[in-house]
Structure 1
Amino acid sequence: MTIDPVDLTARLVRCPSITPEEGGALQLLDRLLSEAGFRTVRVDRGGTPNLFARWGDGRNGRSFGFNGHTDVVPTGPREKWSVDPFGAEIIDGYLYGRGATDMKSGVAAFVAAAIDFVRETPPDGSVVITVTGDEEGGAEHGTVAILDWMDRQGERMDVCLVGEPTCPERLGDMMKIGRRGSLTAFFTATGVQGHSAYPHRAKNPLHALVALMGRLTETPLDAGTDHFDPSTLQITTIDAGNPATNVIPGSATATVNIRYNDLHSGESLTRWLDEHARAVTGATGVGIALRIHNSGESFLTPPGDLSDLIAGAVREETGLDPVLSTSGGTSDARFVKDHCPVVEFGLVGERMHAVDERVAVDHVHRLKAIYRRILTGYFA
């Protein structure tokens, strides 16, 4: 009996697994994979639920891995939804619910494809499933914890496919062979508070921050590379928490987010930001402290056997040649790339995180078929 990926998607959507709650989603997958002959291990860490599953002994032959997550973002106001966000209703060919697109349908598709594949055509090798309950949150103890555990246990994936939504408009129009890095810089400027009518007696931290923001945004970081768009820097907030109109504040903060390509690293960008902050401090006398959070470095899986295999399976099922892209935000592929070559392919992401999130039922079936083709081609 084959696994229906739409039914499995619905069962997962009915699990209210808002980060960091497990909601029963990983328990469901654990039972299903165990019954299909996979060895399953819960790799929970730091309160984060994670699941590792392997079919095959892991010592002989090649190993193909899938990675995904079952946690979802909050629903937002329930009254804005036309349906129960955890009801998994199917209306006019769409399955509705939080996580329907991002990414319980992707997990359901690769789990269903993997189970049917090993039952019907047992491969000379291993199939690995890694699923975290903390991709939408801090991700500190999610896929990273699974990979750490795998290293300690001598477990491996030779290649991995992350099932995140990758297609902007049509199923099959895009796959991800890399991602930009993401760095957030937090600036705190400390001046001297004073009366706005007597600025010579104060040092205005906002003026220093405005000058710094101007320096950071006046010139593009780069013009892009062969596989990456130009890096971008966006100011996301400037704040002094000052309710008075006649007071120069004593301190103020600003935050910028940089999405960067392979011309940069977190280290090189940190040096660049610090140099500009020091220059503004020298010019204004306002001290500027810098704190950095780097969510992940940019990476690229060069086009080759893995991307060709996935593109061929997509072409056979959809008739489209997927664009090889590095666009978009971050994903857990930024962690997997340190373990093995990784590519991302999944559904159309238009409705992810939205009110009335939904996925086309037909697309879920077709995604399972694509994943099944990929497994067949890999172990051929």
Structure 2
Amino acid sequence: MTKPVDPVALTADLIRCQSVTPDEGGALVLLEGLLSSAGFDCHRADRGGVSNLFARWGAKGAARSFGFNGHTDVVPVGDAAAWSHDPFGGAIEGGILWGRGATDMKSGVAAFAAAAVDFVRMTPPDGAVILTVTGDEEGPGRDGTRAILDWMANHGEAMSVCLVGEPTCPETMGEMMKIGRRGSMTAYVEATGMQGHSAYPHRAKNPLHALVDWLARLTAEPLDDGTAHFDPSTLAITGIDCANTANNVIPAKARAMVNIRFNDAHSSASLIDWLRAEAGGVTAATGVTFTFDMQVSGESFVTPPGPFVDLVAGAVKAETGVAPVLSTSGGTSDARFVKDHCPVVEFGLVGRTMHQVDECVEVAQIEQLKAVYARILKDYFA
């Protein structure tokens, strides 16, 4: 009888692959070998110098297919000398696994790969199990999960539902799952006036005054009070400068950055219209003009509570003893791309140390996470 896949050992092996975005580092090669040996049909969906893996067990076009999504790329280690363990060593001490990606999210990928392999070997389902793993989640995201989904569309592949294995629990295993995410966008704005002497401001058009006026309009009132599944949207001024070193010169140009995390009361298009309208009001009053570069990372979305959400939440509670909060908090994830393909939720382990020096995870959490994913597969195909 084939031994079950050890998710802890697999996580450690993945950590030893130095897959800092966009380097593949051997992580996807390792996974492809494991999955191929278990009968998965594996394909690379590489694009733009980014490595991506698609793997399916079961018939193409099956009536129902359960998908997992995750990433093996990691952020840089920073000051390696500040780490107490080799960031790419995969050391285990005192029940703790250390290394870059231990939390975010090589453990999640290892857990769902191990659960999927054991499941199809021991209880082959009536349907398909699909794994999509990218090397471009921590980077721009243009050629990662989006490239896999494009490849799937071109090759007639589809997931009925998908679970993203990002870490979702703040402090305790099982306490939270994500059923949606806020949208995210950044406005880079440049205000252009007319340079002049600070002693004669009437002979200039001060872009800083106009820019501050515009920013004050944006922050005067909350964007909203929250919606059924989301906290209130937030707007943060994240930068303002004019590169002026002369204290007696009114500069010609000034720049600012504004980041907005928005709920389903808005779309990026409606917010862009609002930003431009407020700038138009300032231009009418001051003569200072505004130009924008709008970058949208993703729209808000929610997978409403229902059979799929209930199935995942039930499996989490059964394996952890904790009923997870259904949350839409946090930043963005690749679920923002998957939601255009099929219903998607997220559940993973405690993310307390992600992106930190000495990133680490409790070995017991990885084993528990595999058990949660295994139960989800069993219940989905029951």
Q: Is the 8 A contact 1:172 1:314 kept in 2?
A: yes
Which amino acid is the alignment partner of residue 28 of structure 1? L
- In structure 2, the partner of 1:139 is 141
Match of 2:265 among 260, 263, 267: 263
Q: Is the 8 A contact 2:108 2:166 kept in 1?
A: yes
Which amino acid is the alignment partner of residue 33 of structure 1? L
How far apart in 2 are the matches of 1:199 and 1:101? 55
- In structure 2, the partner of 1:245 is 247
Match of 1:210 among 196, 209, 212: 212
How far apart in 2 are the matches of 1:284 and 1:11? 61
How far apart in 2 are the matches of 1:342 and 1:23? 28
Match of 1:301 among 300, 303, 318: 303
Give per-residue Cα distances to partners, 1:92-146, cap 9 Å, x unaligned: 2111111110000000000000000000000011000000000011000110010
Q: Is the 8 A contact 2:163 2:344 kept in 1?
A: yes
SS at match of 2:282: helix
Task: Pick which of 148-157 and 200-209 moved more.
Answer: 200-209
Residues 1:185 and 2:174 aligned together: no
- In structure 1, the partner of 2:42 is 40
1:243 deviates by 2.1
How far apart in 2 are the matches of 1:59 and 1:196? 70
- In structure 2, the partner of 1:225 is 227
SS at match of 2:143: coil
Q: Is the 8 A contact 1:82 1:356 kept in 2?
A: yes
- In structure 1, the partner of 2:380 is 378
How far apart in 1 are the matches of 2:101 and 2:245? 40
1:59 deviates by 2.8
Match of 2:120 among 105, 118, 121: 118
Which amino acid is the alignment partner of residue 313 of structure 1? A
Residues 1:173 and 2:167 aligned together: no
- In structure 2, the partner of 1:281 is 283
Match of 1:12 among 8, 14, 35: 14
SS at match of 2:103: helix
SS at match of 2:117: helix
Give per-residue Cα distances to partners, 1:128-167, cap 9 Å, x unaligned: 0000000011000110010011111110000000000000
Alignment of 1:102-113 (within 5 A): 102-113=104-115
How far apart in 2 are the matches of 1:247 and 1:60? 69
How far apart in 1 are the matches of 2:92 and 2:206? 57
Q: Is the 8 A contact 2:183 2:262 kept in 1?
A: yes
Which amino acid is the alignment partner of residue 90 of structure 2? A
In structure 2, the gaps of 5 or more residues are: none
How far apart in 1 are the matches of 2:88 and 2:195? 51
Which amino acid is the alignment partner of residue 218 of structure 2? L
How far apart in 1 are the matches of 2:358 and 2:272? 40
Which amino acid is the alignment partner of residue 304 of structure 1? G
- In structure 1, the partner of 2:361 is 359
Give per-residue Cα distances to partners, 1:15-56, cap 9 Å, x unaligned: 111111111111111111111110000000111110000001
1:225 deviates by 0.6
1:81 deviates by 1.1
Question: Which stretches of structure 1, 4 residues or more, deviate above 3 A after TM superposition?
Answer: none
Q: Is the 8 A contact 1:19 1:137 kept in 2?
A: yes
Give per-residue Cα distances to partners, 1:187-210, cap 9 Å, x unaligned: 101111222222222211111111
Aligned residues: 380
Match of 2:345 among 331, 343, 346: 343
TM-score by length of 1: 0.99
SS at match of 1:101: coil
SS at match of 1:31: helix
- In structure 1, the partner of 2:321 is 319
How far apart in 1 are the matches of 2:35 and 2:14? 14
- C-alpha RMSD over aligned residues: 0.8
Q: Is the 8 A contact 1:58 1:125 kept in 2?
A: no
Give me the identity figure in percent: 68
Which amino acid is the alignment partner of residue 146 of structure 1? I
1:298 deviates by 0.3
SS at match of 2:104: helix
- In structure 2, the partner of 1:150 is 152
TM-score by length of 2: 0.98
How far apart in 2 are the matches of 1:48 and 1:315? 36
Q: Is the 8 A contact 2:61 2:158 kept in 1?
A: no
SS at match of 1:208: helix
